[in-house]
Structure 1
Amino acid sequence: MRLSAEPGFVLHARPWRETSLLVEVLSAGHGRVGLLARGVQGAKRHPLRAALQPLQFIRFDALWRGELARLVAAEAVDVAPRLAGEASLGAFYLNELTLRLAPRQVQQPELFVAYATARERLRAGDALAWTLRRYERDLLDALGVGFEWHCDGDGAPIDPAARYRLDPEHGPRRLLMDRGQADRSEAATGRALLALAADREPEAEDMAALRRAMRAVLAHHLGPRGLKSWEMLGSLARLMPGAGSPSQETVQPGG
């Protein structure tokens, strides 16, 4: 099968043999696609190389043979967001999470739109933690494992004054008042869940707990192997002075 002028976002590219790249793309019509780009590395810079950077929006032609497609041509559609600092780490997390959870060759137009939206929010410099929480929500929904968010797993309305643990298989479970501190640390406030349902940014004091609650759900779907971005960001946080400050909650987008 031949793909022609297929829109896609580059998630990852790594060397393959001496002169080629293995490129992972989130495409509009075929979901996540693995591309083999032959002869694009070497002493002489290949014109295709610039279009195969992570976050780049491209249109590409490819010939599908087995699990991988052979890249024939690609062109950049726009200029990829130029990010630095925490935003760059957030983009790495965004790409890694998509790469790990989105299945290959399964059309997912909602995920494609969600990724495009998150990418533009990163470009615009929107609040990083909120950008990533919205994308996590939309990713889970696109994969068919999301929640209603405005009600718990039993169908009862979310109480804004209560706390909820996110059960990956059941949905939000209201936390009993006598539960220990460890359970409460991974529980989101009802206010935060209702804000997420309404696509309204939660209060700052609710955002960190929402991050931890979402991470537990994502970890369940990722399986025993976590994300490199979680390891990197955890190491960075430990090196920063003033542990527990609001800035550290921002610099750890996924965990």
Structure 2
Amino acid sequence: MTESAVYLQPAFILQSRKYRETSLIIDALTRDFGRISLLAKGVRKAKSKTAGLLQPFIPLTLSFFGKAELKTLTDVERRDYFRQAGGIHTLPGDRVHSVGEIKGLALYCSFYINELVVCFLHKYDPHPEVFDYYHECLSSLADGFSMEAALRLFELRLLECSGYGLQLSHDDHNNPVEALKKYDFNVGQGPVDVVGGQFSGRTFQALSSRELTDPPVLSEAKILMRMIIDVYLQGRQLKSRAVMGKVMATVQR
């Protein structure tokens, strides 16, 4: 990035923290510049109208400038063209449980994908396709589609875009994965043909084709993707997972 000003860049806020008495430091996912850090001066003042916009899941355009890593935010606008209804404040998610539980679960899922973006994308590394996948995932959650399928698709796409693409179609002997066979999985190698393996060939086929509709496949895919992501996180803990775990435990009582 240079010191040239950038205007009306499509973006979503990933996270923010307080800075001094009246400002915020913001981590944002932009369409053309990737993940960036911004100093939002004075937005926490009592009369500021900007702070209400600088929230996660609201489609925005951001204007900023600066030659240092921390850019200075100069303007923020809400962009309703991302969704006819505007930004996503509470998400419907899976409609099986009560309304309050549903919104909470989907919202926590959205914070989860925010954490994944922070973990897997380097700052100022442009990935326009990730921006599109991120928006698509939020839209799926907001529209009430399967949370599990939306999350698995985003995880796969994010890993691929960040250089951690998975080999899912062939086993360790370079044979095509068979639906009725069982396999283990080696993160650096792919499916491993093992009698009594943990995962079915159907799960690898579904992930490879991005066709995630079958409940048993979704259940296995969740376990598999969590195992893979944990390897790449190298011990880093995701706060959203802990919160989701507590919510799910409450829902299942």
TM range (shorter): 0.7 to 0.9
2:185 matched residue in structure 1: 166
Instruction: Quote how far apart the aligned CAs of 1:151 are.
Output: 2.4
Q: 1:43 aligns with which of 38, 43, 46?
A: 46
The AA in structure 1 aligned to 2:146 is A
Whether the aligned pair in 2 keeps the contact of 1:32 and 1:103 (CA below 8 Å) is: yes
Q: Write the distance in 2 (CA, Å) between the matches of 1:166 and 1:108.
A: 28
The AA in structure 1 aligned to 2:107 is S
Q: Write the distance in 1 (CA, Å) between the matches of 2:7 and 2:156.
A: 31
Instruction: Quote how far apart the aligned CAs of 1:125 are.
Output: 0.9
Q: Is it true that 1:219 corresponds to 2:244 in the alignment? A: no
1:249 matched residue in structure 2: none
Q: Write the distance in 2 (CA, Å) between the matches of 1:153 and 1:111.
A: 29
Whether the aligned pair in 1 keeps the contact of 2:207 and 2:221 (CA below 8 Å) is: no
The AA in structure 1 aligned to 2:177 is I
Q: Is it true that 1:191 corresponds to 2:202 in the alignment? A: yes
Whether the aligned pair in 2 keeps the contact of 1:152 and 1:171 (CA below 8 Å) is: yes
Q: Write the distance in 2 (CA, Å) between the matches of 1:166 and 1:4.
A: 45
Matches within 5 A, 1:28-177: 28-44=31-47, 46-78=48-80, 79-81=86-88, 82-83=90-91, 84-152=103-171, 154-177=173-196
1:15 matched residue in structure 2: 18
The AA in structure 2 aligned to 1:95 is N
SS at match of 2:52: helix
Instruction: Quote how far apart the aligned CAs of 1:154 are.
Output: 5.0
Instruction: Quote how far apart the aligned CAs of 1:232 are.
Output: 1.5
Q: CA RMSD of the aligned region, Å?
A: 1.8
From the superposition, tell whether residues 47 and 155 of structure 1 become closer, same or farther in structure 2 (CA, over 3 Å): farther
From the superposition, tell whether residues 174 and 17 of structure 1 become closer, same or farther in structure 2 (CA, over 3 Å): farther
Q: Write the distance in 1 (CA, Å) between the matches of 2:37 and 2:172.
A: 36
| 1:37-79 deviation per Cα after TM superposition (whole angstroms, max 9, x unaligned) | 11000333x1211221101111111113322111111111122
| 1:4-63 deviation per Cα after TM superposition (whole angstroms, max 9, x unaligned) | 21111111122222211111111111110111111000333x121122110111111111
Instruction: Quote how far apart the aligned CAs of 1:164 are.
Output: 3.1
| Alignment TM-score, normalising by the size of structure 2 | 0.85
> Structure 1 stretches (4+) deviating beyond 6 angstroms?
none
The AA in structure 2 aligned to 1:133 is R
Q: Write the distance in 2 (CA, Å) between the matches of 1:241 and 1:205.
A: 18
| Alignment TM-score, normalising by the size of structure 1 | 0.85
Q: Write the distance in 1 (CA, Å) between the matches of 2:221 and 2:136.
A: 21
Q: Write the distance in 2 (CA, Å) between the matches of 1:238 and 1:120.
A: 26
Whether the aligned pair in 1 keeps the contact of 2:159 and 2:165 (CA below 8 Å) is: yes
Q: 2:243 aligns with which of 198, 212, 232?
A: 232
Instruction: Quote how far apart the aligned CAs of 1:235 are.
Output: 2.9
SS at match of 2:29: strand
Q: Is it true that 1:27 corresponds to 2:30 in the alignment? A: yes
Structure 1: tracts of 5 or more residues without a match: 243-255
The AA in structure 1 aligned to 2:229 is L
| 1:169-226 deviation per Cα after TM superposition (whole angstroms, max 9, x unaligned) | 222323333x6xxxx3xxx321122112222124112212210110111111112111
The AA in structure 2 aligned to 1:18 is E
From the superposition, tell whether residues 119 and 237 of structure 1 become closer, same or farther in structure 2 (CA, over 3 Å): closer
The AA in structure 1 aligned to 2:78 is A
